[in-house]
Amino acid sequence: MRSLTGALARSARTAGRASVLGGRWLTNLLIDIAPRLPVRDLATLRTQHPGLPDEDLAEAVISGAAKSTAAIGAAGGALAAVEFAAPPTLLTAPFQIAAETLLVAALEIKLLAELHEVYGAVPPGSRSSRTVDYLIAWTNRRGVEPGSARLSLGPVAGVALRRRVVRRAAQNLSTLGPFLSGALAGGMVNLRETRKLGEQVRMDLRMRSR
């Protein structure tokens, strides 16, 4: 978290104030890393969770992702507690929130992609086109629309994604609580929100498979 915060602070200076404040900078970073996320295919998931039926496998994937984002929130809160003890370092707080948001969003997109693997709903096309579909699905908090094969984000989808990233960043502000209250709040917020997202996508994919 600390090293990523520093890297983002340097990146933000290059991006410019308007891009950073408007959310375009962080959104572009998410679009850049999304194709490189290590999404597990169905065979890998079944190997790691042997013997589980589809519903239990989906639950295991959601639970694992929620615990991971909770750990990120707790780490962000712990780092904020250190910063409150040394006020000059609070200047990095916005970039800490950016780091947490980027990590959490990446994990949630990975979760969404793996749920599509579980329910046999992987969108057609290349890895790049599937990434675009998953970014849009994450924005809308539901499964990929059947038959969609987008090669790039259109203007409307790009604006919607940026708004979603900004909202997710606002939710991560809870990690900036004094002492270790931010660690508890950040962990709980991320656990709740990631699980909620997973359940929404799971329900959508389950209805389609039926």
Q: What is the pLDDT of residue 88?
A: 45
For residue 71, the tally of other CB atoms under 10 A from its CB is: 16
Q: Work out the average pLDDT over 105-134.
A: 94
Q: Is 155 exposed, middle or buried (0-12, 13-18, 19+ CB in 10 A)?
A: exposed
What's at 97, amino acid-wise?
I
CA distance linking residue 61 with residue 164, whole number of Å: 22
Domain regions of the chain by residue span: 2-209
pLDDT in tens, 168-184: 888 877 776 655 566 77
User: Is pLDDT above 90 for 194?
Assistant: yes
Burial of 87 (0-12, 13-18, 19+ CB in 10 A): exposed
pLDDT, tens digit, 9 for 90 and up, residues 72-119: 888 877 776 665 545 444 445 678 888 899 999 999 999 999 999 999
